[in-house]
Structure 1
Amino acid sequence: MTQVFTNCSIFNGENFVGNRAVVTEGNRIKKVVHKSNLFGYENIIDLKGALLVPGFIDLQVNGGGGAFYTQEASIENYKVSNKAHLDFGTTALLPTLVSTSLDNIIAQCKIVKEMMKDSDSGVIGLHVEGPYFNPERKGAHSLDFIREATDYEIEKIIEEGAGVIKILTCAPEVVKEKHIKMLVEAGIPVSAGHSNCTYEQAMKAFDAGITKVTHLYNAQSQFTSRAPGLVGAFLDSPDNVYGGIIVDGVHCNYASVRIAHRAKKGKLFLVSDASFVKHPVDNFEIDEFKIFFKDGMYLTETGNLAGSAVSMLDSVQNCFKEANIELAETLKMSSRYPAEFMGIDDEYGYIKKGYRADFVVLERDTLNLIDVYKSGEKVEIDEIVSAQ
């Protein structure tokens, strides 16, 4: 079906344009035209002056709607969480596993591989966060699963995860360089996180093929004048190194967001790292590891942060309103930059001819959500119950 979205300010992935209309056909954008050239169309959607922006892309999300990806390897479990995030404008995501067994990683790879067969599912791969971490920076991950990488495990992960795992987070100081290179050569991008590495170790890891840092500032060696750590290494990293950042006002100060953005503009993108959205869960247990919700945060029994309680919509609003990053740049951080990191910016992250018809409609002044369109179809949004 052909649809026309008009009477809106369009953020096309580069800048805002007015007096334009977006014509979609099925799940793709057919063209973007001047509104004076609209003739013969019937299905015209008047957006009444709202903002039309690319669908959000979240490359680190643990669960939602009461479902937690790591807890159950099933399509139904994934669908529950995916829908919760879709209702907040996340039209593409990487379901993320916390540190777990090899058997569970393999089982989850099979689920994600199946879901990726449907290009309209929103699942664009899997993020395996752990289990090859520095125990000193384990954060909310269970020590029962944190371990050293072995040749066997890396080979099995490559065998089952090539083409499926789009990020594997590990601590570069506890993973052999040969393992990093094996993963990268198999097409599995490697990210540094939950790490106590030195600046020098981090820079060596970037040379070995690591191209990302996971949830900047959190569960990693910090920047000091004499020991810049992983944070300093990222801020000083080559142009091919990206970083995800949680902008919830809890995981890092908004000033820290601005500082990182100034250093790595174009390579820093938003992630929710959400444990749950839509229907906040007061407490849950995974592999005998207990997590509690308190004062807008998910915490372990020892007080460590355990993911966030925000959606990508919350993150966009916070980035613009609290971190004071200009709106066009904020929207790039929520769509274009993660698409570029993933190498899918020929289909995602822009509103252009040939791209996927994944849109978020926002109020111009407040950035409050109006509508979400996935693959050209309007999403029936369930009652919004944010944990923020």
Structure 2
Amino acid sequence: MTRLARNAAPAATASSAAVTVFPILFAISIVHLLNDTMQSTVSALFPILKDSLQLSYKQIGFIAFAMNMTASILQPIVGTYADIRPRPYILPIGVCFTLAGVVALALAPNFALIVLAVVAMGIGSAVFHPESSRVAYLAAGGKRGLAQSIFQVGGNIGSSLGPIMTAVLFVQVGQLGVIWFAFAAVAGIAIQYYVAGWYKRQPVEPRSPAKRAGGAGQRLGTLTRFQVTAAIVILVFLVFSKHVYMSSITSFYSFYLIHDYGVTVEHAQWFLFAFLAASAAGTFFGGPLADRYGRRNIIWLSILGTAPFSILLPYASLFWSGVLCVCAGFVLSSAFSIIVVYAQELLPGNVGLVSGLFFGLAFGLGGLGSVVLGWVADATSIAFMMKLCAYLPLLGLLAVLLPKDRQAAA
């Protein structure tokens, strides 16, 4: 009986680990939606702030850069610390920073204070993403691709609401309209407190620095350390191609439509909403497809498959520009959640570090891309900048060099 009990314990643990905890996944997805809705108020305000404060494209890019780089630098740090010493109740604290940033953004009278407000929002994202991604990993059971997609799709839906807010709210009310999103922050704090309670009850064993250092030189499953490093570098390039192209659309596509097609601010925002809504749909479908057909296959198909649409987009009529933009958003956005899961399998036991690194890269490259693209648009034209970015998805060719899924998982 003792031996049976001893053998039954691991089986029960394994069975428990295989269960996908959908209430927790939906909870963090809702908070992701609220968080990214608040983040999207920044880009949604760009057309309003450009006119009211007489900002240049470079200053617009710098606002995005300040928020994204703050999140980029801090997220790997938060993720690494969480691997060593998990802190569940840091989740609601992170949303408190976002709340402070939202209130400050609504009331900021000049460029400098707007930058400080978005830095506070960047800190909130830096805390939210790596720890919530770890929660998604713990709640995934055997469906990691699906779990990351559920988590990610909330963020993409939240981001897609930004253009609607511009067209419906900010054009009418102005900058002060952001203050209403303080209620979203309060709701996020309450949900994260509930998630933190579940997270605290999970048997998560913190990894000591000594244990990590001891395994650094070993062969990692069927892959050598060099192969794992090379695969991570390739994934970084793929994140670069995806998020710089995404930045060209989210920060400047509406300006491109206004300048080159003569549409109104409200009309341009509906095109941007269509792109972001398609991105949300692509994110949701990407994870389950990767679970079924393989992560590597969907990654390269997603990045490289965007190229035909992105290359044709700057030369299309207004109607076809919208169609191509929707297609590009749907195909491209199916990749990111899969890249995160693939990297987590390459570096097992470093869920927080991997999540923080790749979410940090996404924010950092998006912010840096906004600054560089703003400079290019000021120096040449918004149309030239769009044509230049169109070739970024061709970097998806690098994905064929990634190890096959069974090697990464091993």
Greater helix share, 1 or 2?
Answer: 2
Greater strand share, 1 or 2?
Answer: 1
Work out whether the TM-score is over 0.5.
Answer: no
- The structure with the larger Rg is 2
TM-score tier, shorter chain, comes to under 0.3
